[in-house]
Structure 1
Amino acid sequence: MRAAVLGSINIDLVASAPRLPNPGETVSGHAFRREAGGKGANQASAAAQLGADVVMFGAVGQDADGDLALATLRAVGVDVESVRRVAEPTGVALIVTDDAGENQIVVCAGANAEVVAPPADVSPGDRAFDVLIAQLEIPAEVVEAAFLATDAFTVLNASPARELPERLVRRADLIVVNEHEYAAMESLRAARRVVVTYGGAGSALFENGERTATVPAVPATVVNSVGAGDAYCAAVALGLAAGADPCSALATASAVGAAAVADPASQPALFPLHDYEAMT
């Protein structure tokens, strides 16, 4: 399957601590690490490792952080030739994780604000894609323009939560959110298909506002939840785009998410998708 991912590329600055700090509080940490991240890059990495032929569309700075982000994607087979190098610095996410795997994140967009829609590359033709995946760490109008310009199966990870243009909601073949985002975005009740994740309580598919499938979570030892939602999104996008039965697609994605939370990286190491299908 050929997949295009349109979205953010960041460097994650991650501090681990026994617990998350309260407002105004300082806590002692375990360790600090600097690694590639960003919801778009995380989903591109996951999709490539799961077996898709992936092209990334985004923007990074002309800096060492941009070099690191692109090298990390290349290492798992993502085509990054369409990623723009711009004057703004590469985006950064400041992340604190605790011993339970919970996190707090602040994202500074940087070069991600310079992402442009690639209509020529996601329309039918010599470089047609089966699926286009996007998120909301880049401008929503860029996502809308790309979705309206393609006949591919379109997947929107509507995160961070914001009010969405009606045309974007109507055009999306699939929207993926967590339970908090679903509660905050009333417009999603009108969407054709929405997958909602509930953490340890599993996930569900809503079609035109009606729940049509529910799947339990796969038990896992939580090390880091930062990239788990992105890995889940990539897996469920590829499954449903390929025409898999919804319950099977959600169950497989849950197995991928369980593998992701057990890995400390924002872009966790994953097996091909069929390996996780065999687990369900």
Structure 2
Amino acid sequence: MSDNALSGSGASARVTVVGSLNMDLVARAPRLPMPGETLAGHAFAQVPGGKGGNQAVAAARLGAHVTMIGCVGNDPNGAILKASLEAEGIDCAALATSPDAPTGVALIIVDDASQNAIVIVAGSNAQVSPASVHAQEAMLARADVIVCQLETPPETVRAALEAGRRLARTTILNPAPAASALPADWFALIDYLIPNELEAATLSGIDIATPDDARRAALALKAKGARNVVITLGAQGVFALLDGDDAGQHMPSPKVEAVDTTAAGDTFIGGFAAELARGSAVADAIAFGQRAAALAVTREGAQPSIPHRGEIAA
């Protein structure tokens, strides 16, 4: 990471997201079904989503100029997703269209306690390749912050992180979904590793129920080579173990009445990335992301719930 990577301010702050775009098919039900069980749902909605798309929209609404590297299918869902990004002012010049793979979809059930269960079918997201990243070297060089997740192929994520390191850009990895440990040589490429408590447990081997558990997991992940580790803990807030701080800090979340937690983590990451690109101190960027996520969970849907910068209290 270079000082240039944190030199953005206001509209000049630039975030590039390398990641997934899905059409979310969302059903609301009294509770999550058991295996083999059929439940009657309350409502259904079809809305743009995908972790990459959500984080791009969040960063754009929360103060950054955003570019998107990804892939949609040559189908109605793909056209809708591209149009929705462009409506947010996101640069889609690097958004490819697959001639043979359908646009990715996510099947989401949200229960009356605002918890969710999600199944993702990658579709065209699987065609985001290292070559897709290499072709956008100039775009990546202009970014203040590069954001990745794990809903595109691992070799593509690695290529994006390597490009960020080579170009001295700030890199953020949201390791979601985390089915197994990250390759050991990835950690040195990551400036900010931002898992939730379940992902952090998978990556560290430490079960997390409290902020103190999160501290132990963060220490284990930082020991692997990540420069900064920020573990999101849902209603319990965030535990941040930052460069030069061996103790870490628990930052409680604003208290709100949650309606739907679907895009909370993506909103946090988009807000954090935007604020970091604008030149804010890391702790201030974390707090800004928390305020944005707290507002998002009071609304239904993924991208529809993401707030705009003017809605976030100082």
TM-score of Structure 1 vs Structure 2, range by shorter chain? over 0.9
Is 1:271 equivalent to 2:304 in the alignment? no
Give TM-score scaled by structure 2 length: 0.83
Counterparts in 2 of 1:163-202, with a 5 A limit? 163-186=181-204, 188-189=221-222, 190=224, 191-202=226-237
- Compute the displacement of 1:141 (Å): 1.1
Count of residues paired in the alignment: 276
SS of the aligned residue for 1:224 comes to coil
Alignment-derived partner of residue 245 in structure 1: 281
- Distance verdict in 2 for CA 1:168–1:241, change over 3 Å: farther
Alignment-derived partner of residue 112 in structure 2: 99
Q: In the TM superposition, what whole-angstrom CA distance separates every residue of 1:125-176 from its partner, at most 9, and x where no partner exists?
A: 8x61111101000111101112212321111101111322223211111111
- Compute the displacement of 1:116 (Å): 2.0
SS of the aligned residue for 1:4 comes to strand
Instruction: Indicate conservation of the 8 Å contact 1:122/1:129, yes or no.
Output: no
SS of the aligned residue for 2:91 comes to coil
Alignment-derived partner of residue 158 in structure 1: 175
CA root-mean-square deviation: 1.9
Structure 2, unaligned runs of 5 or more:
1-12, 205-219
Alignment-derived partner of residue 148 in structure 2: 134
Is 1:89 equivalent to 2:102 in the alignment? yes
Counterparts in 2 of 1:51-90, with a 5 A limit? 51-86=63-98, 87-90=100-103
Is 1:109 equivalent to 2:139 in the alignment? no
**Percent identity over the alignment?**
41
Alignment-derived partner of residue 136 in structure 2: 121
Instruction: Indicate conservation of the 8 Å contact 1:11/1:37, yes or no.
Output: yes
Is 1:203 equivalent to 2:203 in the alignment? no
Instruction: Indicate conservation of the 8 Å contact 1:42/1:266, yes or no.
Output: yes
Alignment-derived partner of residue 25 in structure 1: 37
Is 1:42 equivalent to 2:77 in the alignment? no
SS of the aligned residue for 2:312 comes to helix
How far, CA to CA, are the matches of 1:211 and 1:73 in structure 2?
39
Q: In the TM superposition, what whole-angstrom CA distance separates every residue of 1:192-225 from its partner, at most 9, and x where no partner exists?
A: 1111011111101124794422211111221211
- Compute the displacement of 1:249 (Å): 2.0
SS of the aligned residue for 2:86 comes to helix
Deviates more, 1:31-40 or 1:263-272: 263-272
Instruction: Indicate conservation of the 8 Å contact 1:229/1:257, yes or no.
Output: yes
Alignment-derived partner of residue 212 in structure 1: 248
Instruction: Indicate conservation of the 8 Å contact 1:123/1:149, yes or no.
Output: no
- Compute the displacement of 1:238 (Å): 2.7
Q: Which amino acid aligns with 1:271?
A: H
Of structures 1 and 2, the one with the larger relative CO (CA 8 A, separation 6+) is 2
Instruction: Find the partner of 1:227 among 252, 263, 267.
Output: 263
Give TM-score scaled by structure 1 length: 0.92
- Distance verdict in 2 for CA 1:105–1:211, change over 3 Å: farther
How far, CA to CA, are the matches of 1:165 and 1:140 in structure 2?
10
- Compute the displacement of 1:10 (Å): 0.3
Structure 1, unaligned runs of 5 or more:
none
Instruction: Indicate conservation of the 8 Å contact 2:94/2:136, yes or no.
Output: no
SS of the aligned residue for 2:34 comes to coil
